[in-house]
């Protein structure tokens, strides 16, 4: 598989720290995350609920809720801005009213969310919301925007788009709402689509169709996709590259084939082992990862996974922070077991 490790990534997240102020203290939801998305490729970010993957995605466009703040890090955008300026810049350092942030949101970077019906304003038609976004980013007049809106709805597979453009979100099914959201996210031809668990709230058949849609649109527009999910099946279907997160940190990075064939980090291994396989696990208990994800307020000392790790080394894993080992070609794992193998970061 060709590895564009020399070309600059479209989006580069470096040293991201995002935390929330809660009544019980400060929660470090994202605790030092580095990620890269390359043009035209799909990066899947996998992890259990609460590992910080959603917060990471939201931090990119600075959409973190008011109780949270991005403490440090950079999010470098290397793509062409919609208006053609070629300078790379750090999204996090932009002033609030900076035009570039506005252009990025919905223009060069489209984002879709987990609950499609809840992500649309219930009081306005989907057409109105689509047209609004179109007019913000493309400056079309009302009639042209409406025409384009109908075309877009058609391209995402909504039947009878000329009528549906005037429908309200509550009149559409979950799958159709998600399609509408995708249409809105893509209306300005973004170079990156961030998808935050878009199919989690949908049934399996609809999920498959939405994934197909995303794949075909990606190929058609040569778009990069950053897909957040907890479902390894989706990862297998969609991903080019995978990043596994646990408790706010990226514990492993690999291409999709490498991850499934040769997982390095014990957490990844445990995740893969817990996926039930037809025929294999007959007569046995379903394998699980023992214990529960600790509260981010009370992180275990040393490696945050060590209390649940089958290969933990007492005296080392519960004391020192694990090193991030680079195996080359973008493959990394944050574990003490590979200390001697690769280059330490």
Interface with another protein by CB under 8 A: which residues? 23, 58, 61, 63, 65-66, 102-107, 111, 113-115, 118-124, 129, 132-133, 136-137, 168, 170-171, 181, 184-185, 269-270, 273, 287, 289-292, 294-295, 297-300, 306-312, 314, 318
The minimum distance between CB 212 and another protein, in angstroms, equals 23
- In this complex, which beta carbon is closest to another protein, that of residue 47 or of residue 107? 107
- In this complex, which beta carbon is closest to another protein, that of residue 43 or of residue 188? 188
Residues 6+ apart with CB under 8 A from 57: 45, 111, 194, 196, 226, 228
DSSP state of 257: H
Assess contact for 44 and 73: CB atoms under 8 A.
no
d(CA 191, CA 231): 24
The minimum distance between CB 334 and another protein, in angstroms, equals 18
Q: How many CA atoms lie within 13 A of 58 on its CB side?
A: 18
- In this complex, which beta carbon is closest to another protein, that of residue 74 or of residue 114? 114
d(CA 75, CA 289): 33
d(CA 14, CA 207): 31
The minimum distance between CB 329 and another protein, in angstroms, equals 24
The minimum distance between CB 251 and another protein, in angstroms, equals 17
SS3 label, residue 89: strand
The minimum distance between CB 299 and another protein, in angstroms, equals 8
- In this complex, which beta carbon is closest to another protein, that of residue 161 or of residue 266? 266
- In this complex, which beta carbon is closest to another protein, that of residue 104 or of residue 226? 104
Assess contact for 215 and 60: CB atoms under 8 A.
no
- In this complex, which beta carbon is closest to another protein, that of residue 210 or of residue 240? 210
Provide the 10 A C-beta neighbour count for residue 261.
Answer: 9
Estimate the share of the chain in helix, then strand, then coil, as percent rounded to the nearest 5: 30, 25, 45
d(CA 319, CA 10): 37
- In this complex, which beta carbon is closest to another protein, that of residue 107 or of residue 175? 107
The minimum distance between CB 168 and another protein, in angstroms, equals 5
- In this complex, which beta carbon is closest to another protein, that of residue 55 or of residue 240? 55
d(CA 188, CA 138): 7
The minimum distance between CB 20 and another protein, in angstroms, equals 13
The minimum distance between CB 245 and another protein, in angstroms, equals 18
The minimum distance between CB 344 and another protein, in angstroms, equals 25
H-type helices in 85-160, by residue range? 99-104, 126-138, 142-155
- In this complex, which beta carbon is closest to another protein, that of residue 45 or of residue 240? 45
Assess contact for 240 and 278: CB atoms under 8 A.
no
SS3 label, residue 145: helix
Residue whose token pair is 């994202």? 30
Provide the 10 A C-beta neighbour count for residue 173.
Answer: 13
């Amino acid at each position: 598989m060709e590895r564009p490790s020399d070309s600059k990534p479209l989006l580069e997240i470096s040293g991201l720290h995002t935390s929330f102020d809660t009544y019980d203290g400060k929660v470090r939801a994202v605790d030092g995350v580095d990620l890269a998305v390359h043009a035209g490729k799909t990066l899947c970010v996998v992890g259990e609920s609460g590992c910080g993957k959603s917060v990471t995605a939201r931090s990119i466009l600075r959409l973190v809720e008011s109780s949270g703040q991005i403490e440090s890090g950079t999010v470098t955008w290397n793509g062409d801005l919609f208006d053609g300026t070629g300078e790379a810049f750090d999204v996090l350092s932009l002033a609030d009213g900076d035009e570039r942030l506005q252009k990025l949101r919905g223009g060069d970077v489209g984002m879709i969310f987990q609950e499609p019906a809840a992500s649309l304003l219930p009081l306005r038609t989907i057409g109105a919301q689509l047209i609004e976004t179109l007019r913000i980013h493309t400056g079309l007049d009302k009639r042209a925007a409406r025409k384009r809106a109908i075309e877009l709805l058609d391209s995402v597979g909504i039947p009878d788009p000329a009528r549906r453009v005037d429908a309200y979100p509550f009149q559409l099914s979950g799958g159709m709402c998600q399609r509408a959201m995708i249409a809105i996210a893509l209306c300005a031809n973004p170079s990156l689509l961030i998808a935050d668990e878009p199919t989690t709230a949908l049934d399996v058949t609809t999920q498959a169709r939405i994934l197909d849609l995303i794949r075909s649109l990606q190929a058609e527009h040569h778009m990069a996709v950053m897909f957040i999910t907890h479902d390894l099946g989706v990862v297998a279907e969609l991903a080019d590259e995978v990043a596994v997160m646990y408790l706010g940190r990226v514990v492993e990075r690999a291409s999709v084939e490498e991850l499934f064939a040769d997982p390095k980090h014990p957490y990844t291994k445990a995740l893969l082992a817990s996926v039930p396989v037809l025929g294999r696990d007959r007569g046995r208990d379903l394998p699980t990862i023992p214990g529960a994800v600790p509260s981010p307020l009370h992180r275990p000392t040393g490696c945050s996974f060590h209390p649940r790790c089958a290969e933990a080394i007492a005296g080392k894993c519960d004391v020192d922070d694990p090193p991030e080992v680079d195996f080359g070609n973008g493959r990394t794992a944050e574990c003490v077991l590979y200390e001697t193998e690769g280059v330490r970061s």
